[in-house]
A and B are shown apart, each in its own frame.
Chain A
Amino acid sequence: MKKLAILTILFLSFSVFVKAGDGDKIPSATLKKLDGSKINSNTFSNNGKPIIISFWATWCKPCKKELDAIAETYPEWVKETGVKLIAISIDDVRSSSKVVTDVKTKGWEYEVYLDENQDFKRAMNVNNVPHTFIIDGNGLIVWSHNSYSEGDEDKLYENIKALIKGEKLTH
């Protein structure tokens, strides 16, 4: 137990010196594309424009509400800010074949990747879905939000616009 305490203290003191939180690169994890090929999360890029990463699942009602709400204005968002949304499904094998059918039926125009065994979810420290991140033009994670309630998509977009203008993000 004593060693455990020392270990914990070391970790805690460590985290004081290296600022934890905003401004870090996307960790590396292997994801599956809908065409079956693989992609590494650390290669996500959008030509210097921001990226939204949204963790969701086919069985998660609030997740689908959020992505539906964004889908209604997504073409405008892309036009105005050049933002790109990457939707990461955490469905396991039981429901992962439903990802493509849901995405196509709904007509979502996002980049969609599968995180079947949740490697990326763990690397990004996501507890529950929906969980949304904003990545700035330099590929750094600058904002994150857990859960969805009506109207959250507007706040998300305010933050994207603020980021484009170089303003500080509010939560």
Chain B
Amino acid sequence: MTVVTKSWKALFCIFILSFSKNSFAQENHSSDNGSIHGNFQFDAQYYQPDSLIGAPRVPEKMLSNAFGNINYNKGNFSAGMRYEAYNNVRQGFDARYKGNGIVNRFARYKTDLLDLTVGNIYEQFGSGLTFRTYYEPGLLYDNSLDGIRVISSPLKGITLKGLMGKQRYFFSEGVGIVRGGDCDININELFDSLMRNSKTHIMLGGSFVSKYQADLDPDLNLPQNVGNYGGRINIIREGLSFMTEYAYKINDPSSDNKFSFKSGEAIFTSLSYATKGFSFLMQGKRIDNMSYRSDRNESLQSLLINYLPATTKQHTYSMLALNPYATQLRGELGGMAEIQYKFKKGSPLGGKYGTEVTINYSSANGLKPIGVNDSTTKMTFYKTNYSDIGKAYYSDFFIEINKKFTKKWKTTFVYSNQFYNRNTIQFAADNAGYKNLKTHIGVADITYKYASSASIRLEMQGLFAENNKMVSNSNLVAKGSWATALLEWTPSGNWFFAIYDQYNYGNPDKSLQIHYYLGTFGYNKDAHRIQISYGKQSAGIFCVGGVCRTVPASNGITISITSSF
């Protein structure tokens, strides 16, 4: 059931016993004894079937996700473990998260010269194009590497990393072995005597990652070892910052690329300038066949070794994120530009507290794959050109104004114009048959602070879909125009109450023009929080690691407890 082996359990028991002995010996608590901390989260939902909104009948009636971390720290040493429990996993998450167990445990000894970790490892090389293991409990994203890692800084300015292991796969491990190394050089620190007074900071880096998976295919001659290597440079001078990373992967036939023998490459670049009250940021990337997993047959968010960040704006308001974008691992060309300006306090547009304006434009397009004659039914080849731009996947023009009028009144206004290629982003097929979606979205967010720690917040959002007539046979597809209102009352810093109504007034099917009401209250103290909601939630899309998944509509009670100690 669990990935913990007997030897691991024994090891942990020894750790525990040796430390408890210490703590018995010294009654007075002092930090030299080390410390134990942890956190805990529990989310449970009671489901009521609702055929109108498409909420399915859940046989268990109630489903829950939970985890707890316990970490021990003493000087240079740390160890920890995480227990996860799914009874059964909540709707909208991968059903392969089944059962309970310890899915993460590690021990680490860390000094500047030598930093050793055994167990589950989270690490990132450069910007992650070659390697990133990461944990995000809200999305149940965990591709930790179970193995060993060594980090060393033999000279000031140089950091070397090496690691090896297998990745977490639900309650077990993926079949592939992942090995990698990274070298990070800070030129200023390395040549300290020469560059001490230099205003320019230069960082260089290089990484190499390789995965091994046996070739059991009867027909194809698949590469068993697949290498992925990259180089990067980062130059910072006062407010100016430039970063670029390039990665190249040898041919890696997989279910992601329909077993194509083409090599992969990725380039990610960012340029920014920032000074007090003004900033400018540009990002660009080109990704071609860069999905990289420790099991070539896997899909969704499982066993990804690298990370290909989306360059589109990350939204928090629900209507702006109703149709979210995720990097298309097979290939895309993306970019964004953002300007931020703060009108000074006391200026005509700044008023008493200043006014902040953000303008952002981002877009993503496909590549134009050109078929190559060598392709057979089992084996495909194609090529792409840097100068070719393919189909439009997504674009977003966004303006946000943040304005505090008085000590009591704060406001945020947003306008966004989005283009969303549903076939590609949501269904990963250029010919899924859905129309592209064009939306105008407006948000007004007003906070009124009526006492020292009491406030009322009203959030109004509207999403106006241009292709309003679009009729689809799937109720997982967001339908037409929406209006949303949220009223949140915080009578003290500890309590909050909220009423949320999401109204699908523009649904082409009149009987589905439904109000999704949701009432929530929460209590907060220190680092503990409990939250209870009751009502309907519409189907939504969540994207992670280049993959979007749909969360079905639901109706019922949700309870959420988080605690950190």
Contact = CB atoms under 8 A, between A and B. Distances in A.
Interface of A: 1, 3-4, 6-8, 10-11, 13-15, 17-21, 23-25, 27-28, 34-38, 40, 58-61, 65, 72, 92-95, 97-98, 100-107, 116-119, 122-128, 131, 140, 143-147, 149-152, 154-155, 171
A93 B268 CA distance: 10
A107 B342 contact: yes
Given A24-B37, A36-B186, A146-B528, A152 B340 contact: no
Interface string B7-32: 00100110011011001100001010
Interface in B335-377: 338, 340-342, 353, 356
12 contacts: A6-B13, A7-B9, A18-B29, A18-B33, A37-B188, A37-B201, A94-B311, A118-B134, A122-B71, A123-B78, A125-B71, A125-B565
A92 B31 CA distance: 32
Contacts of B451: 151
A100 B241 contact: yes
Interface of B: 1-2, 6, 9, 12-13, 16-17, 19-20, 23-24, 29, 31, 33-39, 41, 69-71, 73, 76, 78, 83, 101-102, 110, 112, 122-124, 127-128, 132, 134-135, 137, 159, 186, 188-189, 201, 203, 234, 236, 239, 241, 243, 268, 270, 272, 274-281, 283, 307, 309-311, 314-316, 338, 340-342, 353, 356, 410, 412, 447, 449, 451-455, 490, 493, 496, 524-529, 562-565
Contact of A107 (B69, B135, B276): B276
Given A14-B23, A17-B23, A144 B564 contact: yes
A59 B316 contact: yes
A144 to B, nearest CB: 5
Nearest to B137: A127
Contacts, number: 223
Chain B interface mostly helix, strand, loop or mixed? strand
Given A36-B203, A59-B314, A105-B277, A24 B31 contact: yes
Contact of A147 (B275, B353, B529): B529
A104 to B, nearest CB: 4
B35 A97 contact: no
Contacts of B17: 10
A151 B455 contact: yes
Nearest to B529: A146
B449 A150 contact: yes
Nearest to A12: B70
Contact of A36 (B6, B234, B410, B493): B234
Contacts of A154: 452-453
Contacts of A6: 13
9 pairs of A and B residues whose beta carbons are closest in the complex: A151-B453, A104-B274, A101-B279, A24-B35, A94-B309, A150-B455, A125-B39, A17-B23, A105-B340
